[in-house]
Amino acid sequence: MQIQENISLRQYNTFGIEAYAQFFSGFSSLDGLLNIIENKKYHPSLILGGGSNILLTKNIEGLVLKNEIKGIEKIGEDENFIYVKAGAGENWHRFVQYCIARNWAGLENLSLIPGNVGASPMQNIGAYGVEIKDVFHELTAVHLQDKIIKTFTAPDCSFGYRESVFKKKSKRKFVITDVTYKLRKQPVFNTAYGAIQQELERMGVKTLSIQAISQAVINIRSSKLPDPALIGNAGSFFKNPSIDKLSYTVLKEKFPSIVAYENEDGSMKLAAGWLIEHSGPDADKSWKGYRVGDAGCHAKQALVLVNYGNATGKEIYDLSEAILQSVEKKYGVLLEREVNII
């Protein structure tokens, strides 16, 4: 175990925010993690995966742990499904491509989402009509205080929209070490959401496949979302808010072009990007493409806040707060941040 002191976290978060960890260590195995947390001298304050869904607003006191557990293994199958386990430190997109190459279906709509495997159930990541809860089987996690190794099933995880027990009741109590997914031998294609069908047509796809859907998703995301290697960002900064149908009807009458989708429970999910794009710091300016110093709102996707170089976490946070207030003032809808504020 090697514990480093006063380490910059800039390279460990996709926003590229400069913040320092009082102590820092990586671990690449369950035993390595247990060895670290059994040392009472160091108290884990933050667990890092791919650093793609956090905004650092301050230096971190205590120990920051970097999850680097790798490995992908097919652990079972039945008539309809393949069960595949991946280490929490595996890159998410590489894992998705590994499964697609073997015709294991279910993850194709989640291609090119930044981050690591361990964050997928924590955030219940989702895109283009698919969420992790749809393909999740179980995960293994270690309780930081009790050092108990626990298996979580889907009900244990209390999945919600970009939510799980790990963001609520068990926030910062567990370290996820591996996740097992239940993938289909025969694909069930999901192309109804967003622009997938149009992109497949543009690509000239005649025979639908999980490979084609994955490439369509990659094309769409690449055209709209900035590469964190080029511009610091954490993807979608805000969740799409849901309101009841009556409230939606009132909004629709006032704003006829508002974008929304019906939820399974009959409520309406509003497109947060549309709300932000059609709001602004003043009446004649949109947040989309807005910039103050090095903190900004991306020019192609209003849902994405960006660091153009040397923005601080507080500057990004303050911009997000101004956006929240302007959307609430104009539409009466309170947005919620999807990114974890540290």
Q: How is residue 73 written in tokens?
A: 């293994």
* Buried-exposed string 29-48: b where 16+ CB fall within 10 A, e elsewhere: ebeebeebbeeeebebbbbb
* Candidates 162, 199, 242, 277; catalytic one: 162
Listed residue (128, 208, 206, 122) closest to 171, CA to CA: 122
Catalytic pick among 90, 131, 138, 338: 338
For residue 295, how many other CB atoms are within 10 A of its CB? 24
Q: Which is catalytic among the residues 236, 279, 320, 326?
A: 236
CA–CA–CA angle 225, 229, 230 (5° rounding): 70
> b vs e for 273-291, b when ≥16 Cβ sit within 10 Å of the residue's Cβ?
bbbbbbbbeeeeeebbebe
Cα 46 to Cα 342: distance, rounded to the nearest angstrom: 9
158 backbone φψ class: left, alpha, beta (φ>0; ψ -120 to 50): left
- How far, in Å, CA of 8 to CA of 51, rounded? 13
As a whole number of Å, the end-to-end CA separation of the chain is 25
Distance CA 112, CA 93 (A): 5
Q: Verify whether residue 90 is a known catalytic residue.
A: no
User: Residue 318: which of 340, 300, 339, 292 has the closest Cα?
Assistant: 292
Contact by Cβ (8 Å): 55, 94 = no
Q: Is 38 a catalytic residue?
A: no
As given in the structure block, the two tokens for residue 115 are 């981050």
User: Distances from the Cα of 16 to the Cαs of 20, 57, 239, 287, 307, in angstroms?
Assistant: 12, 12, 22, 21, 7
Backbone φ, ψ for residue 137 (5° rounding) = -110, -60
Catalytic residues: 162, 236, 338
